[in-house]
Amino acid sequence: MNSLSIATSLGLLLGLTAWPALAQEADPERGKAAAAVCGTCHQPDGSGRHVADGESWPRLSGLNAGYIANQLHDYKEGRRRNASMQPFANMLDDQQIVDVAAYYAKLPVTDGQGGDEADEAQLARGEQLALRGDWNAYIVSCKSCHGPGNEGVGSTFPGIAGQHAGYIEKQLLAWQAGERDNDAQNLMGAIAKRMNDEDIRAVAVWLSRQPVASE
């Protein structure tokens, strides 16, 4: 067999070997079945759950499918760490991740929780940080990256309007402490480190109260 034939044969063999690993087109119906176990924490409608002074599971409904898929891959590959999420992410193969992400992306957006008891001063500070930032403290506004209405931009910047206050607060604290770092440019880590606990709570409760037109 000449060198061209060998190269062709190897190419075909590699192609056949790689094919099963390629994810097919997303199927939300398959995703619904694969996401059944996710409903324990994130609820069957993807609304998540906020417990005052306790755990807060994020809303997934209406989030960008690419963003959800990216986060699941980050959990699987150790770029994002959470003792509860990693075992479940590891249960999903590449196709299931695509399908689950498509399923949640198609669900209607539900309201955020956890901001009902915020006072006016807290809400005013949260609005400032979310929409205008605080240049005296070198804090960039949330909407600078998360887009108009803080409803998300593609698969990189998630929609944070209408997300549960407890979850936003927990993630900002994790960025601040360096416990979360799955951001190649460390944008969130740099911003969170310039915020104090009152700022983090204020922006979290304000964002949780914002209606979402679309994500």
CA 92 from chain center: how many Å? 17
Closest CA to 143 of 157, 155, 156, 154: 157
Q: Is 142 annotated as a binding residue?
A: yes
Q: Is 164 annotated as a binding residue?
A: no
195 contacts 172 by C-beta, under 8 angstroms: yes
φ, ψ (nearest 5 deg) of residue 42: -90, 0
Instruction: Determine the pLDDT at residue 19.
Output: 35
Closest CA to 32 of 132, 99, 92, 87: 99
Q: Confidence band (pLDDT; 50, 70, 90) for 4? A: very low
pLDDT one-digit tens code per residue, 20-52: 445 689 999 999 999 999 999 999 999 999 998
147 contacts 187 by C-beta, under 8 angstroms: no
Question: How do the domains of the chain map onto residue ranges?
Answer: 25-106, 120-208
pLDDT at 10 over 80: no
pLDDT at 18 over 80: no
Q: Confidence band (pLDDT; 50, 70, 90) for 7? A: very low
Q: Is 145 annotated as a binding residue?
A: yes
Q: Is 41 annotated as a binding residue?
A: yes
pLDDT at 188 over 70: yes
Superfamily name with CATH number, domain 25-106:
Cytochrome c-like domain (1.10.760.10)
Superfamily name with CATH number, domain 120-208:
Cytochrome c-like domain (1.10.760.10)
pLDDT one-digit tens code per residue, 55-104: 999 999 999 999 999 999 999 999 999 999 999 999 999 999 999 999 99
pLDDT one-digit tens code per residue, 120-178: 999 999 999 999 999 999 999 999 999 999 999 999 999 999 999 999 999 999 999 99
CA atoms within 13 A on the CB side of 168: 28
Asked if domains 25-106 and 120-208 share a fold, the reply is yes
Q: Is 73 annotated as a binding residue?
A: no
Q: Is 91 annotated as a binding residue?
A: no
Q: Is 42 annotated as a binding residue?
A: yes
Query: Does the reported pTM lie above 0.85?
Result: yes
